[in-house]
Structure 1
Amino acid sequence: MDKEIKMGLRHVLEEKLEAALITVTKVLGSAPRKPGAQMLVLADGTTTGTIGGGCGEAEARQAALQVLSTGRARKHSLNMTADIAEDEGMVCGGIMELFIDYLGQGNVSEQLILLENYLLSFNHGESPVLVTLTGSKQENIGQKLVVQRNNQYSGDLGLPILNRIALEQVLASRDHSHFSVVNLDEGFNPCDTKAEIAYQLLLEPPVSETKLVILGAGHIGLPLAGMGKMLGYEVTVVDDRPSFANTLRFRTADRVICNDFEKALADLVIDPQTYVVIVTRGHRHDKVCLKNVIHKPAGYIGMIGSRRRVKAMLAELQEEGIPAEKLEKLYSPIGLKIGAETPEEIAVCILGEIIKVQKEQTVSINNEEPQKMLV
């Protein structure tokens, strides 16, 4: 569940609104979104999030409004090979299986309280997995279980054996942290054939906040911060010049740090969900930043500069004892090659490369390292 959907659900629960949550559970053929994509629909028709846009999303929205009128969750098959989809220019040619959950006030209070506590747990630094029963021989479709990192859980899927299977599945998938669907037959055994499915569980892992750390508050850093925020990153800007590193200049950034680069980086948490861009005002500052982040497990480290300048800097760092294999993870010259010239265009090519790297890391189908730009 991404940040936008969480915020939407918090608003729904706080204001006691009627809402339906659409989740893509399966995709056949070519489709605009993958399993796990979600869209929240309110009773007035307003939406948060997207499952791909176009007439297909419009049909899903209508199905969600029907769920709101009946107060009952259900499944919906979205066939995008229909003539109407072609007329609208939406020719994905695939089928999306959807689960539309009813989250209004007609729901049992225990379920709403469970969802409230699930959302609150993120504020306390917890990383729960939400399990929802979306297919069942019984009338408990939409029942939920919230499993915490210590495997303690709250909620109930209606049957003890389903609770146990859910816990086992969460434990087995902890290291993968991706949305998944578990199909079970009447004997509670895994199955793939639609006709055999008696129970279906959706496992939604916590989505880590993706962070964009911009080292340098100059002409490139400014549009980079604004565009990064539009893409949903938590944006941090660092520079040692008060006239550049200030909240008046970077209104959309989550955090602006005016400090020496080395001191600022010592206090920043950089993890695999952190994407670092080095665009300082000079070679000396670039080198300081690179030395202080190259050993950290960042998902991406990119640095602006010509091939000649970057090559010379990497040689210096190797002489200073930084292993060549560490430096190989640097993306430089930074960004996709699109002929960018202006600061805004350069920001676009940098973010394009970050998105490319991020998607490769998410998929990781063949466990190969993402292709890097040559230095």
Structure 2
Amino acid sequence: MSKAIQQLAQAIENRQPAVLATVIEVRGASPAKVGAQIVLLPDGKTAGTVGGGKLEAAILSDARKALTEHHSGLFHYKLAEEGEDAIGTLCGGEVTVFIQPFLPAPQLVIVGGGHIGRPLKIMGEAAGFEVVVVDVQAGLATVPELEQVKLGEDSYVVLITTDHISDEAALRYALTTPAPYIGMIGSLAKCRTIREHLLADGFDPLQLERVYAPIGLDLGGVTPQEIAVAILAEVIACRHQKTRDTDSIKLRRLEMVKA
């Protein structure tokens, strides 16, 4: 297995974005060979090579754009000083490269499971999320089970445990992670009380902007399945940055839940 493929496999296992560039066609003189591959990670590290020099620099530049814009495609490079697709060299050949970003599926972490968690898991998987269900022990102020789950910038956390103590403990931990969405089930009274606990313990109100409580869009449903739909709809809205109240989407943030 090549170094590029080894690095790509490791990135996928670690839920880390990566871009693979593969030389698929070479015409004339070129430092690149058909089948040569290079992997680019978000921090700029690479593995493998596609010939080095200006050609490799041009390929990596397009790979960075592919990683940012989330698109795959064929890219043509002319090893000449001037002209369309020229990269400023004198080799005279032409190279075609397929550049493909590999992006981890968004992660939906359901803390508590139960009658709402079951349909939410099914719906989340159907919507393309990698779903993780975490059962925590009720009544404890710690959540070691949740702490074992790696929460990143594309993790969406749903807190639906059986008691307010577990929900608050899980919320406190989730706030220490980069998770962009943390939804917590419960009444307005429960949410207000937990908000006051957090502020009293030094949490910044800005930290609470990621917390949506009571959880879910207000769709009017009352069954577990309908509540699961409301939760998933809110997660999707946040993932696509539809985070401001509009006529069609009403989002409730914890920092706005005041007495």
Normalized against structure 2, the TM-score is what?
0.70
Label 1:315 to 1:325 Cα distance change in 2 as closer, same or farther (>3 A): same
**Alpha-carbon contact 1:335-1:346 (below 8 Å) kept:** yes
Q: How far off its partner does 1:311 sit?
A: 2.3
Kept in 2, the 8 Å contact 1:216–1:237? The answer is yes
Structure 2: 5+ residue stretches without partners: 86-93, 246-250
Distance 2:204 2:83 in 1: 47
Residue aligning to 1:214: 110
Indicate yes or no: 2:216 matched with 1:325.
no
Partner of residue 250, structure 1? none
What is the rounded CA distance, in whole Å, between the counterparts of 1:161 and 1:231 in structure 2? 41
Once the two structures are overlaid, the 10-residue window that deviates more, 144-153 or 120-129, is 120-129
The alpha carbon displacement at 1:177 in A equals: 6.6
Task: Quickly say closer, same or farther: Cα 1:336–1:129, change in 2 above 3 A.
Answer: same
Q: Which residue identity lines up with residue 230 of structure 2 in the other structure?
A: C
Specify which of 4, 7, 20 is matched with residue 130 of structure 1. 20
Deviation at residue 206 of structure 1 after TM alignment: 2.5
Q: Contact 2:110–2:158 at 8 Å: present in 1 too?
A: yes
Q: Contact between 2:124 and 2:131, CA under 8 Å: does it hold in 1?
A: yes
The change in CA–CA distance for 1:293 and 1:239 in structure 2 (over 3 A counts) is same
Return the alpha-carbon distance in structure 2 between the equivalents of residues 188 and 260 of structure 1. 66
Summarize deviations over 1:171-199 as a string: whole Å, max 9, x none: x549737326556678577979xxxxx87
Aligned residue in 2 for 1:283: 164
Distance 1:179 1:281, change over 3 A: same
CA shift for structure 1 position 148 = 4.2
CA distance in 2, matches of 1:124, 1:263: 22
Residue 371 of structure 1, aligned match among 241, 244, 248: 244
Alignment of 1:260-339 (within 5 A): 262-339=143-220
Q: How does 1:4-23 map to 2 (within 5 A)?
A: none
User: Contact 1:183/1:191 (CA < 8 Å) preserved in 2?
Assistant: no
Q: Which amino acid aligns with 2:243?
A: P
Could you give the per-residue CA deviations for residues 48-89 of structure 1, whole angstroms, max 9, x where no partner exists?
Answer: xxxxxxxxxxxxxxxxxxxxxxxxxxxxxxxxxxxxxxxxxx
| Cα separation, 1, equivalents of 2:71 and 2:128 | 19
Distance 1:349 1:316, change over 3 A: same
Report how far residue 295 of structure 1 moved.
2.5
> What is aligned with 2:37?
145
> Any residues of structure 2 matched to 1:43-122 within 5 Å, and which?
120-122=9-11
Is the Cα contact below 8 Å between 2:67 and 2:101 reproduced in 1? no
- CA contact 1:301–1:329 (8 Å) conserved in 2: yes
TM-superposition CA deviations, 1:265-301 (whole Å, max 9, x none): 3322211121100111122222111111112110211
Q: Which amino acid aligns with 1:237?
A: V
SS state of the match for residue 226, structure 2?
A: helix
Q: Give distance in 2, aligned partners of 1:347 and 1:288.
A: 22
Secondary structure, aligned partner of 1:176? helix
TM-score by length of 1: 0.50
What is the alpha-carbon distance in structure 1 between the residues aligned to residue 65 and residue 83 of structure 2? 15
Query: 1:323 Cα shift?
Result: 1.2
Q: Quick one: distance in 1 between partners of 2:185 and 2:65?
A: 38
Q: Which has the higher contact order (CA 8 A, sep 6+)?
A: 2
Q: Percent identity?
A: 29
CA distance in 2, matches of 1:174, 1:352: 28
| Equivalent position SS for 1:219 | helix
**Cα deviations by residue, 1:90-140 (Å, 9 ceiling, x for unpaired):** xxxxxxxxxxxxxxxxxxxxxx989976764556647542125689877x9
**Contact 1:183–1:190 (CA under 8 A) maintained in structure 2:** no
Per-residue deviation, 1:312:
2.8
CA contact 2:155–2:181 (8 Å) conserved in 1: yes
Off by >6 Å, runs of 4+ in structure 1: 112-116, 134-138, 188-192
1:310 partner SS: helix
Whether the 8 Å CA contact 1:121–1:128 is kept in 2: the answer is no
